[in-house]
Each structure stands twice: as structure tokens, then as C-alpha cells.
A and B are shown apart, each in its own frame.
Chain A
Amino acid sequence: MVDLLVYAVCAGLLLILATGPLGAIVVWQRMAYYGDTLAHSSLLGVAIGVLMNISIEASVIAICALLALILGPLHRWSGGSIDSLLGIASHGSLAAGLVAVSMQSGKIIDLNAILFGDILAVSGRDLALLGSVTLGSSILLLINWNSLVALAAHRDLAQIEGRRVALLEVLQMLLIAVVVAVGMKIVGVLLISALLIIPAASASRWSRSPEQVAVGAIIVGACSVVGGIASAWWLDTPAGPSIVLFATLLFLIALPTGKYRLGS
């Protein structure tokens, strides 16, 4: 039983190591809704994976990455507002996923686990995948950190100073897609983007530099993971929602106490 707990905590911490700094970028780039859209589409990825009898992780990552890559061009081509397009993609893919899941008559898919995650069912194999995604994402973020912050601060200036902004934008979208795809298993399709946004938003209230936001998001996220799993263990609450609830509580504490309340 303790193994179960150790696996769960490890999985949560590994995930937060990736979503913390990446979440800072999501918040700075105002991509919160974008993360949600990718998360919803991962349900469709699960259904396709089961239907075609291929690895579910691979099909989820593929669907998320595909959507990440076509959303930009689709937005430019359609010319409409991005939030409507994201809303359509988000709910369209969620609905398609639900329909596809219901059609899998022979195989049983635990819809509850997909929507809300099942961190206590994490296997060694899941940990290995999560670990490698976190490692890869961290390395790419570290290498490109100053460029990504420059891009978030002012796109035009970054471009004039010679940064390859289009490439950086693809990089950040793909990173979000991959992290969302592997994190879905832990907190679920409906709540994964919360782990991107809430810890980073809380940390930014206590921070004086972009680096402090990134590290702070990891710390806030780690506290939420530990708190959420503890609550699941002793109070028998669902783990995924408990983690997100803890993160939200920390944000509510950060809201009035953050010293660097910006815009005030």
C-alpha cells in the first residue's frame, strides 16, 4: 500500500516539475484556454487509441500535438476571434471523445478516471514516461528560457532582436500539448490545465522576477500535490480534484498577501 502512495507522490511531483515553469509561460502568454482545449482533445486521443488498438499515451500525445499545430494556422485562416475558435475546438473534441468512448462496446474505458484522473493507479511504466517528458521539457525550457520570456514580454521586440519567434511559439505549444497529454492520467482531462495556471498565478504574486515565478510555481504545485494526496489518503477524497483544490486555496492565500500586487 505504501508503494502506491510513493508512486502517487512521485508522479505528482514529476508532473508539477514540468507544469510549474510551463504554466508560468501559459499565464504570461494568456494561453489558459488553450491548455483547456488541448486537455479536452486528449479524451478523443484516448478513444482513438483504444479503437485502433495502439498505445493510448502515443495516440493522446499525437492528437494533442496535432491540434496544437493546426490551431494557429486555422485561426489565421478563419480570421475570427481566437477564444471562439478555442471554445469550438475544446467542446467539439470533448464531445467527439465522449461519443467515441461510448462506442467502444467490447472494451471498458473508465470514463471517470479519464475525466478526473487516477493518481493512485499510477504504474512504474507511467512514472518512466512522466519522468522522461518532464526531463525533456525542463531541458528545452532551460535552454530557451530567456527567449521564451522575451517572447512573452514583447513579441515584436523579441523578433527584431533576432529571436526566432515562430519557432519558439511552436515549441511552447508542443510542450504544453505533451505535458497535458501525460498529465491527464494524473489529474484528469478536466483539471490538468488547472495545474498549469493556478500554481503559476499564485507564485507570480510573490515574485519579483520571471525565474521566481517558475520556481515558485513548482513549490506551490508540490505543496498542492502533497496536500491533495494526503487528503485522498486520510479523508478518502478524490485525489485529482483535491490537488487542484489545494492549489486554489494557496492562490486565495496569495491573492491578498502577495507583496507585489501588480496593477495596484
Chain B
Amino acid sequence: MSALVTLHSVGLVAGERSILSNINLKLMPGTITSLIGPNGAGKTSLVKIVLGLSKPSEGRVERQQKLRVGYMPQKLALNTYLPLSVERFLRLSDYRKRKLAWAMERAEASHLAQYSMHKLSGGEVQRVLLARALLTDPQLLVLDEPAQGVDISGQLALYERISALRNELNCAVLVVSHDLHWVMAQTDNVICLNQHVCCHGHPQTVSADPAYLKLFGKQGDAALVPYVHDHDHAHTIHGDVVDDESTHKDCQHG
């Protein structure tokens, strides 16, 4: 099976500041990849490059031809002068009635159809955004902090829904998340980002990685087996990579 999206040593520079450097990434069909990292790590910038919304300043992005992507943005800042019901908002993407009904049902938003978009709670907005993402028949579903503004029980339900959708649609999922428990328990591949890929791989591998522990600390999960990983560089307290050239030659991110 070929990758849906592949990033080859992608870097992003804004002004004088380097936001992302040397990112290698493969998104495979049917797998859930989670992206974790501290604030300012460049998670949203990376997501935008994967989506094709912004161009990297270095490196190359390979995208499967005519890839159908569903995107759930972090926030929806609707202009208050633009009145939209939930149904009308979804029809901005697709007019077919049965399709709308299907997507709303899958995102558990059917009962919201006639509500005004401006009067929804945080959790309800997320459901509507998920429904809109599903309308594209996604081969790749990209979710940027989907649990933001959602209460704890809602978060649990949302994450369960994401896992279920992956199984049902057999799509790839890229999700930016702060919920480390879910990331470790339910996702297939974890990328720990802090302007570069600190560590990546299977959740168990990552959760024992010194770079991960340094960023997130021990989350009190005693079930995780300690694992020694040969980390190829060190960080300053700002998260910058202190590398000496020689150690990077066998770097194999991605």
C-alpha cells in the first residue's frame, strides 16, 4: 500500500524564525497518526503543510493524486453577520440530502440540523465540523485538536468516534491531540514534535523515549515498560536541537 501523503525533509521558515525543520512523515491508509508536542511546536503549521494549505520553505510534499481530505479545523470563527444554520453550513460543502443525513448521523449531529451555528456549544461545533469533514468522503481525515472546548465525557465519546470512523471508512487519520492517554492507547503511530521530530513510532516506544519524557514527563503510567532508545541529539532548554553533525548521519525520522 502506498502512502497517502509523504513529507521529505520538510522545513518551514517564517521571517528569521525556523518553525519546522527536517520533517519526514508518511501517512498510510487505515492508520491513526497522532501529533503531540508543546505549544509553539509547529503542530498546526505541519498540519497545514500536510493539507496543502501552505507551502514548505524546504523539502518536498508528495500527495496521492486526487486525494480526498476531510479537515476539522481547531476553531471556527464565523463572522456574526453571516447567519448560518447547521444544515446550511454543511451544504456549503455538499448539497446532497442523503449525504448530509449520513454525515450528520455519523458525527451525532442530526438533532442540530436547524440550529444556528452561532448558538452551538463547543462540543456541538466540533460535531458539526466533524460532519463537514466527513462530507468529502475522506481518504485522509485531519483533526486539529478536536477535543478543544469539549468536556471530559464528550472528549471520550469524540475519541471513540474517531477510532470507529477509521474502522468504518478505512481512512487514514492525522490528529493533533493533547490527550496522551488516548494517544498512547488508541493510535498506531505517534509523532512527538518540537519544531523537528523528537521521536516517533509506536506509542509504547515513544512513551519511553527520553525526548518524550523530557517534554511531557512521566504521565504516571506504570504499565509502560521502560525502553532504551538511542536518541541522536540533545535539546537546550528552549527546545532547540543541539546537534553535532556526525550524529545526524543515521537519522531516520519518518
Contact = CB atoms under 8 A, between A and B. Distances in A.
Contact of A160 (B71, B81, B95): B71
Contacts of A28: 79, 81-82
Interface stretch (A80-88, A120-128, A205-213): A205-213
B14 to A, nearest CB: 11
A208 B79 contact: no
A95 interface: no
B81 A201 contact: yes
B132 interface: yes
A56 interface: no
Interface stretch (A6-14, A130-138, A151-159, A177-185): A151-159
A153 B71 contact: no
B118 interface: yes
A262 B81 contact: yes
B165 interface: no
Interface size class of B (residues with CB under 8 A): 20 to 34
A161 B88 CA distance: 16
A208 B82 contact: no
A233 interface: no
B126 to A, nearest CB: 14
B83 A146 contact: no
A209 B80 contact: no
B222 interface: no
B118 A263 contact: yes
Interface string A25-36: 001111000000
A262 B91 CA distance: 21
A209 B81 contact: no
B159 interface: no
Contacts of A27: 79, 81
B73 to A, nearest CB: 6
B51 interface: yes
A213 to B, nearest CB: 7
Contacts of A159: 53
A109 to B, nearest CB: 37
Which of A149, A158, A213 is most buried by chain B, counting CB atoms within 10 A of its CB? A149
Contacts of A150: 92-93
Interface string B73-108: 100101111111100110111010000000000000
Contact of B51 (A149, A160, A208, A260): A160
A200 interface: yes
Nearest to B69: A160
B70 to A, nearest CB: 8
A1 B200 CA distance: 81
- Quick one: which of A161, A200, A208 has the most chain B CB within 10 A? A161
Given A157-B73, A262-B118, A263-B118, A146 B79 contact: no
B116 interface: yes
Nearest to A158: B92
B177 interface: no
A93 B70 CA distance: 44
The list of the 10 closest CB pairs from A to B, nearest first, reads A150-B92, A262-B80, A204-B81, A28-B82, A263-B80, A262-B118, A160-B71, A27-B81, A28-B79, A207-B83
18 contacts: A30-B79, A149-B92, A150-B93, A152-B79, A153-B79, A153-B84, A154-B76, A157-B92, A157-B132, A160-B69, A161-B135, A208-B83, A210-B82, A210-B83, A213-B83, A260-B83, A262-B80, A262-B116
Given A146-B91, A156-B48, A156-B53, 16 more contacts: A27-B81, A28-B79, A30-B79, A149-B92, A153-B79, A153-B82, A158-B92, A160-B53, A160-B71, A161-B135, A200-B81, A210-B88, A213-B83, A262-B83, A263-B80, A263-B118
Interface of B: 48, 51-53, 69-71, 73, 76, 78-85, 88-89, 91-93, 95, 116, 118, 132, 135-136
